Amino acid sequence: MFDLSQLGLFFAASLLLLVTPGPAVTYIVSRSIAEGRRSGLFSALGIAGGGLVHVAFAALGLSTLLASSALAFSVVKYAGAAYLIVLGLRTLLASGPAADEAAPEEAFSLRRAFWQGVLVNVLNPKTSLFFVAFLPQFVDPSRGSVAMQMAVLGLVFTALAMCTDTVWVLAAGSAGHWLRHHRGFLRSRRYVAGSVYLGLGVATAFAGPAKK
């Protein structure tokens, strides 16, 4: 279905894009630092799950509808921004000794970390636009089904993203493990994490369709 040189170019281009931190990486890193590696890993799995939804949309042509409809883009964009802002406010307003002193694995639901990661990615319309703009550059209609090629390339990209995200989880988790030995960090970590989510929400709200 694919030429080897074409696949090699796709791998190189994908890795180049993935090593550049974006909103998803920022979200995963903040989770890993604040709640530990397990929470960061489940958040990364959630981001990957949301990525698979966008891959399916791209393969079925639904992402093109989002790209061509200003209304649809705005609805998804503001829903995602609102979700991140609510998440940030909930994190900032979580108070009391238990919220500051409990172990990350006990204080945060791994299942919730996964599903929040899914929603953060699914409600980011720029991810759909990215797949619409990026994947077709490596599709050759003469080599078979365009939808199948889009799906395969999207799956490969998501797998590569999971690998690079895991590296971020390990690095940020190690930093977080060191920071959690300092009481000042324990007292302030929810403010750091909440501010990150609020910042991502505001950035999402003001993002235009033409920006990646």
Instruction: Give whole-number Cα distances, 38 to 132, 169, 173, in Å.
Output: 32, 9, 8
User: How is residue 127 written in tokens?
Assistant: 């991810």
Nearest CA among 48, 39, 53 for reference residue 91? 39
Block residue for tokens 């505001």: 202
Please tell me the number of Cα atoms within 13 Å of 106 on its side-chain side.
6
* 67 contacts: CB under 8 Å, gap ≥ 6: 73, 128, 129, 132, 209
pLDDT at residue number 83: 80
Extents of the domains making up the chain: 4-205
- Which DSSP symbol is given to 20? S
pLDDT score, position 46: 95
Tens-place pLDDT, residues 73-99: 777 778 878 888 888 888 778 765 444
Note whether 197 and 65 are within 8 A (CB).
no
d(CA 23, CA 200): 7
- Please identify every stretch of the chain with a pLDDT value under 70, giving residue numbers as ranges: 1-2, 63, 65-68, 72, 95-108, 179-190, 204, 207-212
What does the pLDDT read at residue 182? 65
Instruction: Quote the pLDDT of residue 23.
Output: 81
Which amino acid appears at position 38 of this protein? Answer: R
Which residues lie closer than 8 Å to 46 by C-beta, 6 or more apart? 113, 114, 115, 116, 117, 118, 119, 120, 121
